[in-house]
Structure 1
Amino acid sequence: MRHAIDSTELDLSGLTVLTEAASGAYATTAVIAAMAGAEKVNAFVRPSRYGSVADVQSCVMQLASFVGVENQVTILEDLREDALSRVDIVTNSGHLRPLSADLIDNLPDYAVIALMFEAWEFRANDIDVDACRRRNIPIVGVNERHPAVDVFSFLGPLCVKQLHDCGFAGYRNRVALICDNDFGASLAHGLSAVGASIDVFTDAGDLVREEWDAIVIALTPGEEPRVGPSEIHHIANCVPPGAVVIQFWGDVDHEAARSMGLSIWPALRPRPGHMAVLLSDIGPEPIVRLQAGGLRAAELVRREGTQSRNELAQLVSLNEL
Structure 2
Amino acid sequence: MNVKRIEKLIPDAIDTYDLDLSGLTVFTEAASGNYVVTPLIAALAGSDRVFAITRDSRHGKAADIRNFTLELAQRWGVDDRIEVVSDKIPSVLSQVDIVTNLGFVRPIDKNMIAHLKPTAVLPLMWETWEFREADLDLAECRRVGIMVLGTNEREAGLDLFTYVGYLAIKLAFELEIEIYRSKVVVVGSGPFGESSVKVFDKLEADVGYIGLSTGASLGTESAKSMLRDAELVVLVEHHNPACLIGSAGQITVDELLVLSPHLSIVHIAGNINREEIDNAAVPCLPQKSAAPGYMSVATGYLGPKPVIALHTAGLKVGEAMARARLTGLNPIEAEKKVLRDLPLAMGFGE
Query: TM-score with structure 1 length normalisation?
Result: 0.92
Could you tell me which runs of 5 or more consecutive residues in structure 2 were left unpaired when the two chains were aligned.
Answer: 1-9, 213-217, 325-333
Deviations 1:133-152 (A, max 9, x none): 32132222111122342322
Give yes or no for the alignment of 1:12 onto 2:30.
no
- Checking the alignment, whether the CA contact within 8 Å between 1:34 and 1:73 is kept in structure 2 is yes
Residue of structure 2 in register with 1:243 after alignment: 263
Q: Please state how far the C-alpha of 1:187 moved relative to its aligned partner.
A: 0.9
Q: CA deviation at 1:266?
A: 2.7
Could you say what secondary structure the match of 1:182 adopts?
A: helix
Q: Distance in 1 between matches of 2:200 and 2:161?
A: 13
- Structure 2 equivalent of residue 225 of structure 1: 243
CA RMSD in angstroms comes to 2.1
Alpha-carbon spacing, 1:126–1:231, altered in 2? closer, same or farther (3 Å): same
* Alpha-carbon offset, residue 3 of structure 1: 0.5
Judge which range, 220-229 or 88-97, deviates more. 220-229
CA distance in structure 1 between the partners assigned to 2:94 and 2:231 by the alignment: 54
Which of 167, 181, 188 is residue 172 of structure 1 equivalent to? 181
8 Å CA contact 2:128, 2:149 repeated in 1: yes
Question: Taking structure 2 as the reference length, what is the TM-score of the superposition?
Answer: 0.84
Secondary structure in 1 matching 2:22: coil
2:346 to 310, 314, 317: 314
| d(CA) in 2 for partners of 1:190, 1:313 | 26
Instruction: Find the aligned partners of 1:133 and 1:18 in 2 and give their Cα distance.
Output: 19
Give the SS at the match of 2:243.
Answer: coil
Q: What displacement does 1:101 show?
A: 1.1
Distance 1:96 1:130, change over 3 A: same
The aligned counterpart of 1:82 is 91
- Could you tell me how far 1:226 is from its partner in structure 2? 4.5
Q: Which amino acid aligns with 1:298?
A: G
Deviation of 1:263 (Å): 4.1
Number of residue pairs matched? 318
Residue type at the aligned position of 1:303: R
2:320 matched to 1:300?
yes
**Secondary structure of 1:141's partner?**
strand
Indicate which of 281, 291, 294 corresponds to 1:274.
294
Amino acid at match of 1:79: K
Code of the residue aligned with 2:262 in structure 1: it is: G
Offset, 1:195: 1.7
Separation in structure 2 between the aligned mates of residue 47 and residue 39 of structure 1, nearest angstrom: 27
Question: Which SS does the other structure have where 1:175 is aligned?
Answer: strand
Q: In structure 2, what is the Cα distance between the partners aligned to 1:299 and 1:96?
A: 18
1:284 paired with 2:304, answer yes
**Higher fraction of helix:** 2
After TM superposition, list the pairs within 5 Å mapping 1:1-321 onto structure 2. Answer: 1-203=10-212, 204-206=218-220, 207-209=223-225, 210-229=228-247, 230-233=249-252, 236=256, 239-258=259-278, 262-304=282-324, 305-307=334-336, 308=338, 309=340, 310-316=342-348
Deviation, structure 1 residue 95 = 1.1
In structure 1, C-alpha distance between the alignment counterparts of 2:32 and 2:279, rounded to whole Å: 36
TM-fit CA distance, 1:303 = 2.3
Cα-to-partner distance string for 1:79-117 (whole Å, 9 max, x where unaligned):
221111121110111111111211111111111112111
- Please tell me whether the aligned partners of residues 193 and 237 of structure 2 are also in contact (alpha carbons under 8 angstroms): no
Structure 1 pair 223/201, CA: closer, same or farther in 2 (3 Å)? Answer: closer
Residues of 2 paired with 1:227 and 1:172: CA distance?
25
Q: Matched residues in 2 for 1:65 and 1:59: separation? A: 10
Structure 1, unmatched stretches of 5+, are: none
